[in-house]
Amino acid sequence: MDELIVVKVGGSEGINLEAVCEDIAGMVAEGLHLVLIHGGSHETNEVAEALGHPPQFITSPSGYTSRLTDRRAIEIFEMVYCGRINKGIVEMLQRRGVNAIGLSGLDGRIWSGLRKKAIRALENGRSRVIRDTYTGRVETVNSTLLAMLLEAGMLPVLTPPAISNEGEAINVDGDRAAAATAVAMGAKRLFILSNVPGVLADFPDEDSLIAAITSDEIENIAQTAAQGRMRIKLLAAQEALDGGVEQVVLGDARSPTPITHALAGAGTIIY
Amino acid sequence: MDELIVVKVGGSEGINLEAVCEDIAGMVAEGLHLVLIHGGSHETNEVAEALGHPPQFITSPSGYTSRLTDRRAIEIFEMVYCGRINKGIVEMLQRRGVNAIGLSGLDGRIWSGLRKKAIRALENGRSRVIRDTYTGRVETVNSTLLAMLLEAGMLPVLTPPAISNEGEAINVDGDRAAAATAVAMGAKRLFILSNVPGVLADFPDEDSLIAAITSDEIENIAQTAAQGRMRIKLLAAQEALDGGVEQVVLGDARSPTPITHALAGAGTIIY
């Protein structure tokens, strides 16, 4: 097969999925092979509020923020990520002639891994242990299934949750799942697109974009420059490079042609 | 491949999906091949109410009742059918060691067909034309994709919506989609399981179950005995038989072992 690119598009406000799909359709017509992975946090928060189960977030002792997913939260999460957004994207691609196939990490065990028995959260400066959450980490990617779908001319559109080794739905970080997918598929490039232009030296000043980061600079930049979600994206980039991916681009999903831009090197290139 | 059975399980109240999945896991362990198709109307109605877009139903001049799906309704429909219920079933099967893969009719264009330009509804005895709904009918089943997944050892779990020839999500009747799937896959048997024991001569008296119906009796029984949703199930059965399926069982999904029961001939057998 020709080169495969793994693209992750975030789920924050301001991202135009129609533009993303239009851009993808153009690339597919030119022969590029893609696996698309998407988020959905903004819309999940809205639906969770409307259904009377408002979202909760925790911060780990190492400073990463994540969604607290009890059983009801993961059900709402599935409604929005796997139902509304995944099928919405599949429809947008199909309307443009791309034979998309939408799957969660549960389906065919595309993303499986360990469910965390307990997680630690910082609350008012104190560390607290939380149990009975449905969260975990992708350890194994069913690359055989993804390769079969790609060979058959389809474009896989993937979304959390993943599946635990015991068969439970678990929330996993989408950026890190994208990294694991790129590694498992032997992709040379991984694009992680969100609602910022890339890594900013002086957040939120968009003029302070860092154009390139080498592998050995990631940790230092993660600790000094990166804010909030960007720290997890840098962790995902590190995991991708460690697994053999040659280039990760942290780019802007709000552009009218986000993937064309990332291909052209816009955003922060990490190598 | 060994014999393939297509099973449709409804989405009404009182259906225990855990029992359905437990039963399926037992059959898969014995070597049966299944394609599972599910509904979700009850839970969709609840979520639509909670999200402030209450469900609307219409009755066609020929007496069939169906959901009125404007754009917002189909989005909520996708959340529940493709998100919550489809992924819930996949999880239940995966927990039992069955490698399920959940897909809507949009994915890989599994179910495609014509979107209706307008539909007719009876209102207070008068016929009214309704436009801008997202409804249609399955005309083509991507049996190549389904066969590929089955050959790879997976159990496809399918749900509406389907996809129109223009690439839009369209609501289709799940029973008739199941019939089209059984025909396209060359299945000998189709089980349509819901929250009644089968066709009742004297609805709702469950003791009046009609144990067997031949193909040439269907139309008469549909007009005299069958109520509500059962008329569409008989139409689906007719379509399946016309397409070469040898036996359709309209059975009870509320049983502790619904598929074992249908295999043993419980319910209404149509041949």
Sheet holding A140-141, edge to edge: A140-141, A111-113, A162-164, A169-170
Q: State the Cα–Cα distance between residues B196 and B253, nearest whole angstrom.
A: 8
Distance CA B192, CA B85 (A): 17
Question: Which of A50, A106, A108 lies nearest to residue B87, judging by beta carbons?
Answer: A106
Asked if pLDDT for residue B14 goes beyond 90, the answer is: no
Q: What local confidence, expressed as pLDDT, does residue A63 receive?
A: 80
Strands in B116-197 per DSSP E:
118-123, 126-131, 136-141, 155-159, 162-164, 169-170, 189-194
User: Is a pLDDT exceeding 90 seen at residue B66?
Assistant: no
Nearest to B91 among A102, A145, A167 (CB): A167
Which of the four pLDDT bands, split at 50, 70 and 90, describes residue B61?
A: confident
Among the residue ranges A41-45, A121-125, B223-227, the one predicted with the least confidence is B223-227
The whole-number average pLDDT for the span B130-135 is 92
Determine the pLDDT at residue A34: 97
pLDDT of residue A61: 87
Q: How far apart are CA B10 and CA A36, in angstroms?
A: 32
Q: What is the mean pLDDT of chain A?
A: 94
> Is A15's pLDDT higher than 70?
yes
Residues of chain B found within 8 Å of residue A161, distances taken between Cβ atoms = 87
**Tens of pLDDT along A223-258?**
887 777 899 999 999 999 999 999 999 999 999 999
Q: What is the mean pLDDT of residues A36-52?
A: 95
Residues of A in contact with B104 (CB under 8 A): 87, 90, 102
pLDDT band at B1 (very low <50, low <70, confident <90, very high): low
Share of chain B above pLDDT 70, in %: 99
Is residue B53 within 8 angstroms of chain A, CB to CB? no
Give which of A38, A46, A47, A78 to mutate to test B binding, by max B Cβ within 10 Å. A78
- Comparing B90 with B126, the larger pLDDT belongs to B90
Going by the DSSP 8-state scheme, the letter that residue A185 receives in this structure is T
Q: Does B52 have pLDDT greater than 60?
A: yes
Whole-number pLDDT of residue A39: 95
pLDDT of residue B225: 75
Query: Mind telling me how many Å the CA of B219 is from chain A's nearest CA?
Result: 37
Tell me how far apart the alpha carbons of residues B235 and B238 are, in angstroms, rounded to a whole number: 5
Q: For B155-166, how does the pLDDT look when each residue is reduced to its tens digit (9 = 90+)? A: 999 999 999 999
Tell me the pLDDT band of A138, cut-offs 50, 70 and 90.
very high
A57-61, B168-172, B224-228 — which is least confidently predicted? B224-228
Own/partner contacts of A208-213, CB < 8 Å, gap of 24 or more, are A209/A267, A209/A268, A210/A268, A211/A268, A211/A269, A212/A268, A212/A269, A212/A270, A212/A271, A213/A237, A213/A268, A213/A269, A213/A270, A213/A271
Is A79 within 8 Å of B75 when comparing Cβ atoms?
Answer: no
A101 Cβ under 8 Å from any chain B Cβ: yes
CA-CA-CA-CA torsion sign (A105, A111, A113, A119): negative
Strands B33-38 and B155-159 come out as parallel
Question: pLDDT value at position B144?
Answer: 98
Q: Is the pLDDT of residue A210 over 80?
A: yes
Residue B95 in this model has a pLDDT that exceeds 90: yes
The confidence score (pLDDT) of residue B240 equals 98
Helix (H, G, I), strand (E, B) or coil at B72: helix
Residue identified by tokens 């194994």 is A140
| Contacts for B182 with CB less than 8 Å, ≥ 6 apart | B6, B189, B190, B240, B243, B245
What average pLDDT is seen over chain B?
94
Cα atoms in the 13 Å half-sphere on the side-chain side of A150? 23
β-pairing, A100-104 vs A65-67, is unpaired
Distance between CA atoms of A271 and B145, rounded to whole angstroms? 37
Q: Smallest Cβ distance to B107: which of A81, A90, A96? A: A90
* B44 exposure class (CB count in 10 Å sphere: 0-12, 13-18, 19+): buried
Mean local confidence (pLDDT), A126-155:
96
Cα dist. B44→A17, A129, B53, B86 in Å?
25, 36, 11, 12
Residues of chain A with C-beta less than 8 angstroms from the C-beta of B86: 82-83
Nearest CA in chain B to A78: B83
ipTM above 0.90, yes or no: yes
- Pick among B22, B90, B110, B140 to test the A interface (most A CBs inside 10 A): B90
Cα nearest neighbour of B168 on chain A: A91
* pLDDT at B93 exceeding the cut of 80: yes
Mean pLDDT of A125-143: 94
CA distance A233 to A24: 22
The sign one gets for the Cα dihedral B17, B23, B28, B34 is negative
Chain A residues with CB inside 8 Å of B52's CB? Answer: 50
pLDDT at residue number A13: 85
Q: Which residues of B touch A87 (CB under 8 A)?
A: 78, 82, 104, 106, 161, 169
Give the Cα separation of B249 and B268 in Å (integer): 6
pLDDT classification of A1: cutoffs 50, 70, 90: low
Residue type, position A212, single letter: A
Instruction: Inspect the interface and report whether the beta carbons of B75 and A84 lie closer than 8 Å.
Output: yes
The pLDDT of residue A234: 96
Phi, psi (5° rounding) for residue B233? Answer: -65, -40
Q: What is the pLDDT of residue A143?
A: 98
Helix (H) / strand (E) element for A239: namely helix A229-242
pLDDT in tens, A162-202: 999 999 999 999 999 999 999 999 999 999 999 999 999 99
What CA–CA distance (Å, rounded) separates B180 from B175? Answer: 9
Looking at beta carbons, which residues of chain A come within 8 Å of B97? 167
Determine the Cα–Cα distance for residues B142 and B204; give it in Å rounded to an integer: 38
- For the segment A1-8, the average pLDDT, to the nearest whole number, is 87
In sequence order, the β-bridge partners of residue A191 are: A7, A249
User: Which of B83, B94, B152 is nearest residue A82 as measured by Cβ atoms?
Assistant: B83
> Cα–Cα distance between B45 and B70 in angstroms, integer?
14
A vs B, Cβ pairs < 8 A, gives 123
Separation of alpha carbons B210 and A238, rounded Å: 65
* pLDDT score for B224: 82
Q: Which residue has the tokens 């400073």?
A: A63
